[in-house]
Amino acid sequence: MLAVIMMVQDEQERNKVEQIYNRYYSTMFYIAKGILHDEHLAEDAVSEAFIRIINNIDKIGKVDCYQTRGFVVILVRNISIDMLRRIKKEQILSLDDVREPVDNIDPVFENASIKDACEKIIDCINRMSNKNYADILHLKIGYGYSNEEISEILNITTDNIKVRLSRARKALIKQMQTEVASGARKISK
């Protein structure tokens, strides 16, 4: 942490950062550890917070006031929450990584060739009521674009792409289940 503080060139600003460190470090660590439940991650969050404090030191007036304390607490809390989200996101498998066993194939696709199954999936995508979801699935599945490429095409962030893809996949699954159910009703009649 001292190396980070020593990066500050201006002596007056360095003294202010040292005062903030001495005054608020334990509070920041307590908050980060309460969110992350890990000492090493909490230290990382506090270090990241101090880097941001250094970058915004000119916006901090008095060290020992409720505004500075609020700024520091909110900053470390948000950094800790972002870290926790990233960790949880990394732990969740994407649908692309999960493969269903062959014996769990839906009866509608059981006797179909792979080409027929793909055509049925594309038909389901085309019949989706939300065209934004259909478009993003076409770009991802049909054309094989990466999230970054789709982000550039649609002019939205990659995080937004991930969210839309997740929702689109869920909508596609629901659409396919609906069609399977209606197909089963037709067969039974």
Domains recognised in the chain with CATH numbers: 2-91 (1.10.1740), 102-188 (1.10.10.10)
Q: What is the pLDDT of residue 39?
A: 92
What's the mean pLDDT in 47-54? 88
Q: What is the pLDDT of residue 113?
A: 66
Q: Is the pTM of this model over 0.75?
A: no
Q: What is the distance between the alpha carbons of residues 96 and 92, in angstroms, rounded to a whole number? A: 11
Q: What is the pLDDT of residue 95?
A: 46
Q: Give the confidence band of 2 by pLDDT, cuts at 50, 70, 90.
A: low
Q: What is the distance between the alpha carbons of residues 7 and 164, in angstroms, rounded to a whole number? A: 41
Q: What is the pLDDT of residue 99?
A: 42
What's the mean pLDDT in 144-162? 82
With tokens 């059981």, the residue in question is 110
Compare 188 and 23 and report the one with higher pLDDT. 23
Give per-residue pLDDT as tens, 3-46: 555 566 677 877 888 888 899 999 999 999 999 999 999 999 99
Is the Cα torsion angle 7, 9, 10, 12 positive or negative in sign?
Answer: positive
User: Percent of the chain scored above 90 by pLDDT?
Assistant: 13
Q: What is the distance between the alpha carbons of residues 185 and 177, in angstroms, rounded to a whole number? A: 12
Compare 34 and 56 and report the one with higher pLDDT. 34
Who's near 154: CB < 8 A, 6+ residues apart? 135, 136, 139, 161
Nearest Cα residue to 136 out of 172, 171, 161: 161
Structure tokens at 123: 């038909």
Q: What is the pLDDT of residue 102?
A: 41
Phi and psi angles of residue 162, each rounded to the nearest 5 degrees, phi first:
-60, -45
DSSP H or E stretch at residue 27: helix 11-36
Who's near 23: CB < 8 A, 6+ residues apart? 63, 64
